[in-house]
A and B are shown apart, each in its own frame.
Chain A
Amino acid sequence: MTTRSRRLGVLAFAGALALGSGHERAWARPGPGPTARSAEPVRAFLRLELRAGGSAPREIYVGQTIPVVIRAYFLDGTGVSLTAQPHLTSDALTLSDLPDKPAQSTVQVRGFPYTMLTWTGRLTAARAGQERTDVALPVEISYRQPAPALPRSDQDSSSDDSENDANDPFSSFLKQTPLAKDPFFSRMFKGGDPFAGMMTDLMGTVRQRDLTLQGPGDSVRVLDLPAPQPAGFTGAVGNFEIAAGLSAGPYHVGEPATLRATVKGRGSLARLALDGVTSTPELTSYAVTAAGSPADTSERTFAQTLVPRQAGATVVPSLALVYFDPVARRYVTRRTAPIRIAVAAAAGPAGSSGTPASTGQPGDSALAPGLALAHPPGQPGVPDLVRPTLTPFIHTRRFPILLAAMGFVTAALALLGFLGQSGTLTRRRAARRLSREIAREQRALCEAVRRGDAAALFAAGRRALQARLAGAWGVPPEAIASTDVARRLGPSGDGIREVFDRADRLSYAGNRTEADLDLEPWPERISAELRALESRT
């Protein structure tokens, strides 16, 4: 037994309970294993064996899965109740695929009969680092402790009495009688109970304890997978083979067919995932599902639904399986062979719904022409609505822009309307027109001075002044005469009246005086009159 265990790679074995000399405290202390030089057998112990190529590995990779065997040994005559499954004490290593009920057999270890419980499972490394493969097993053990060989001291007797009172049906026999408090009997038995320990002396005591067996393990170095990881790698570590096949034909446009891929090998099959076939213009593909039983640790099956879109010869692309080979220490990509199929036209009623050729989705943008839309009889069909986008208008960037534009235009038009209603705009337009007219006449003044044309100078001056006065008085400019200026402005309008008078004289009489020959100061005088009028209005 010991020899075989060494060959398989025994990492630990010594979580043990010694069959002591009758003292209970010995049970709580881990005792020596069966290989130790012990005169008496241990009550129970635990072992974990790694089965990786016949020897215990010292280095494994993250994600690598190694078969393990966990054995728990219990000395014959020991009652055992398992309260939980064996587990590893390191959170960087996980145990999986353990059976609910262990296999049970009887073995001889160093000449002693043992009941052996065996679990087979898988150990997977989840995190890089230096880890230990210590294993633990919670159990409830019951056993019969033999009667003590030597007479007990008074102290021990009283101690045992106190402990046994609860379980020994005879220990309280005397105490339950009226004689218990009788001084005579008390003196006769020195305060003790003559029936205490009677059953222990005859058959021993049945003990029951909740314990956790500890199987000390070895140190294992968990390595990270080498970088860079290739595309499509999903964490599978081991050595695998892949084969694929399509469900039996004939194949029709719009009718689903199932592509099945079977992966066999050793390693972390549970971590295996396939990307499957991507959609092409000829095929619509769906998500890959794992069809095999997770309990099957040597094979896993994946299924993917494919729907042909076009009639004619179609090729189902190859599937790729990428994994890390821990023996070769490199990534490996296995590919299936492409599958060529002949797709017939849709089997549905011709032109049943006039299905458009596109769903608009990238990757599955086309739908087979003639694919019937099945709906319950009597239900109206789906309206043929097509839109360039599915995103509701309220979620697009154009929506807030449209709201802002509407708000801006509304505010602008409302402001314009309010200004128009209040006359502000009209007044401003009239003022701007007056300014432009006066500026034009002032330019004519300067031109007349340059030419020495007195008639033109005073005529322009009169028109400028008339325009300014018309703006202030609200009358037509041409209706304003020298007499109006005198009546309305009085002496302050003398300068304006002089311009009007000279303009009339030069315009109608044409005779020029000496004063008319000096034209230089007049543009400035007329401008001053205009500024005075402007400030006055």
Chain B
Amino acid sequence: MSTQTGWTSLFRARRSAPVVAFAVLTGLAAAAPARAAATPPAHAVAPSGYSARALAAQAESDLAAGHPGSAILGFERARLLAPRSPAISTGLERARTTAALPPVTVTGWQRLERHLSPNEWTWIGLIGLASAAVGLVALAWGVIGRAGLAALLAAGLVLSSVGFVAAVDQSPSPGRAIVVTPDLVARIAPFAEADPAFSAPEGSAVTIERAHGDYLLVAGPEGQGWIPSRGVKTILPPAERRL
């Protein structure tokens, strides 16, 4: 009897500790993408990393050299890292204007999404998920009651839903690509003599569906067609589409 009483008292005395530890751990896990996106000091620029400033500078250089497609690609990549940069947004607009592309219609929700990067939205989603998990654990260990659990669960699920939906919306799919060569014609079959399907203007966005030899089947606003693989570049570099 004394053993049982001792264990119970021990349990009651320390029952908050695992909940606190779990909350800390889930918080750290949720902050993983945020840590990855943290701003390093100027001297800590990795020799082989992706720099928002370098990508934007490269895009400006592309635009000056008369390659609006490459410029749009560079600005799109830079925007993944620094979505709130007005210079990148302006550069992207200028590149699209140079490429004579139609203006992009942005809804209110998309405007809200563009305030944060995909990783920042993912971080918010993970924080929401962690809140819900901590609430569940806290209830199990008797730290909070059912009302507390309901509040934490509701807040966590709403936060995680918004965060993950926005993160997915903001993230380009692995097959999302930009046309980087002028006068590109998509054809109905993967060879040069095939009949044209539609014209893919430089700088326009297409989605790569599959490859055949040196040709890629892409889907754009005007339909599907085969284009030479060197005519497009994916927004996410091919080497790291799936890490």
Cα distance A416–B26 in the bound complex, in angstroms: 17
Cβ of A394 within 8 Å of any chain B Cβ, yes or no, is yes
Cα distance A372–B57 in the bound complex, in angstroms: 7
State which of B11, B81, B171 has its C-beta within 8 Å of the C-beta of A426.
B11
Cβ of A367 within 8 Å of any chain B Cβ, yes or no, is yes
> Are A380 and B85 in touch, CB under 8 angstroms?
yes
Cα distance A256–B64 in the bound complex, in angstroms: 8
> Are B58 and A380 in touch, CB under 8 angstroms?
no
> Are A287 and B230 in touch, CB under 8 angstroms?
yes
Cβ of B211 within 8 Å of any chain A Cβ, yes or no, is no
Cβ of B197 within 8 Å of any chain A Cβ, yes or no, is no
Cβ of A360 within 8 Å of any chain B Cβ, yes or no, is yes
Cβ of B100 within 8 Å of any chain A Cβ, yes or no, is no
Given known A358-B48, A385-B37, A394-B122, contact A421–B140 (CB-CB < 8 A): yes
Cβ of B105 within 8 Å of any chain A Cβ, yes or no, is no
Residues in chain B near residue A380, CB distance under 8 A: 85-87
* Chain B CB within 10 Å, residue with most, of A256, A406, A418, A425: A406
* Chain B CB within 10 Å, residue with most, of A357, A385, A429: A385
Cα distance A57–B139 in the bound complex, in angstroms: 89
State which of B49, B66, B88, B231 has its C-beta within 8 Å of the C-beta of A387.
B49
Instruction: Give the contact stretch, choosing among B106-114, B128-136, B218-226.
Output: B128-136
Cα distance A413–B18 in the bound complex, in angstroms: 8
Given known A373-B56, A392-B122, contact A406–B39 (CB-CB < 8 A): no
Using a Cβ–Cβ cut-off of 8 Å, how many residues does chain A contribute to the interface with B?
A: 79
Residues in chain B near residue A405, CB distance under 8 A: 29
> Are A359 and B51 in touch, CB under 8 angstroms?
yes
Cα distance A410–B37 in the bound complex, in angstroms: 26
> Are B181 and A386 in touch, CB under 8 angstroms?
no
Cα distance A283–B235 in the bound complex, in angstroms: 22
How many A-B residue pairs have C-beta atoms within 8 angstroms? Tell me: 264
State which of B64, B82, B140, B174 has its C-beta within 8 Å of the C-beta of A415.
B140
Chain A nearest CB from B173 CB (Å) reads 8
Chain B nearest CB from A354 CB (Å) reads 7
Chain B nearest CB from A345 CB (Å) reads 16
State which of B1, B37, B88, B137 has its C-beta within 8 Å of the C-beta of A470.
B1
Chain A window 280-321, contacts with chain B (Cβ cutoff 8 Å), 1 for yes, 0 for no: 000010110110000000000000010100000000000000
State which of B4, B46, B193 has its C-beta within 8 Å of the C-beta of A358.
B46
Q: List A484-520 residues whose CB lies under 8 Å from chain B.
A: none
Given known A358-B54, A384-B52, contact A390–B40 (CB-CB < 8 A): no
Residues in chain A near residue B2, CB distance under 8 A: 476
Given known A385-B52, A397-B243, contact A376–B90 (CB-CB < 8 A): yes
Given known A357-B47, A394-B118, A420-B15, contact A409–B25 (CB-CB < 8 A): yes
Cβ of B148 within 8 Å of any chain A Cβ, yes or no, is no
State which of B4, B39, B64, B174 has its C-beta within 8 Å of the C-beta of A384.
B39
Cβ of A361 within 8 Å of any chain B Cβ, yes or no, is yes
Chain A nearest CB from B176 CB (Å) reads 11
| Chain A positions near chain B (C-beta within 8 angstroms) | 94, 126, 235, 254, 256, 271, 284, 286-287, 289-290, 305, 307, 353-362, 364-365, 367, 371-376, 379-399, 402-403, 405-407, 409-410, 413-418, 420-421, 423, 425-427, 429-430, 433, 470, 474-476
| Chain B positions near chain A (C-beta within 8 angstroms) | 1-4, 7-8, 11, 15, 18-19, 22, 25-26, 29, 32-33, 36-37, 39-40, 42, 44-58, 60-62, 64-67, 69-70, 74, 77-78, 80-82, 85-88, 90-91, 117-119, 122, 126, 129-130, 133, 136-137, 139-142, 164, 167-168, 170-171, 174, 180-183, 192-193, 230-231, 235-237, 239-243
4 tightest A-B CB contacts, nearest first: A417-B140, A392-B118, A417-B141, A393-B33
